Amino acid sequence: MILWWAFLTSLAFLTRLPLPRIQRYDESIAALSVIFYPLVGAIIGGLLCLFVGVLIGFYPHANSGLVAALVLTLWTYLSGGLHLDGLADSADAWVGGLGQRDKTLAIMKDPQSGPMGVVAIVLVLLIKWAALEALFQALLQPMLNGTSWWPVFASIVIVPILARAVVIGVLATTPYVREAGLGKNLLAGVTPIRVWVTLIIVALLTVLLVPKSAILLLLVWLTVAAMARAAMLKRIQGCTGDTLGATIEIQEAILLVALALAI
């Protein structure tokens, strides 16, 4: 049962989905919940696929830009804007911190978004929309002509899986700089065996879902993760929940761009 409660904990934290009341919660469950992050990404991707299927079923000739906007809106709703909040806080802190660790961490704790946070959110959402529009423009029409729906659905599903899996890798290799916080509880869950098993499964899923783009996506995924981790270590000598959320958003945007360029 502990796995079930850990799964529900990860789902409750990372999404806005209506869920049964979590009857058991402690530090061990919080720690274990991190291994389910890629599965939560798969659920988000699956719901987005269902939405696209229903939408195209009723409106087969819907404009690809409109479809992309609606998908992105649902995507943001499902995640509750959690990672966008981390992106905004990180952007404000990186610019306002002026290269100083303590100042960067102090700004990151401020709940109000400054101008750079707003700019970062707008840019990331714009990039996501443009990439989704390019994907739908290239893939929806062939799908309506009788081609398999698989390329569309596989592209949507794999991105949130990879983006959330990166949290496991970063936590396993990067100090957590806050004395308290959810990330502190997650650290106990990222044991070497769990990390390797989870990341290998995610890599195999990538090959299965998008075989033609798998190598490109995995290279992009690893490169972005390494660059984000390097930036965290250089500025704050570790990671926080906000920087992990920012990494998820940046990963999603860049992975979508990579998929759009690869079609």
Contact 212, 262 (CB under 8 A): yes
DSSP string, 115-159: HHHHHHHHHHHHHHHHHHHHHHHHHHHHHHTT--SHHHHHHHHHH
**Residues 201, 207: Cα–Cα separation, whole Å:** 10
Residue entry with tokens 């960067």? 104
Q: At what angle do helices 241-262 and 150-173 cross, to 10 degrees?
A: 150
Instruction: Give the tens place of pLDDT for each residue, 83-128.
Output: 999 999 999 999 999 889 999 999 998 877 788 999 999 999 999 9
Higher pLDDT, 183 or 166: 166
User: What are the domain boundaries of the chain?
Assistant: 35-182+191-262
Residue 123 in tokens: 């840019």
Instruction: Give the tens place of pLDDT for each residue, 15-47.
Output: 999 888 777 777 788 888 899 999 999 999 999
Half-sphere CA count of 160, side-chain side, radius 13 A: 26
pTM of the entire predicted model: 0.94
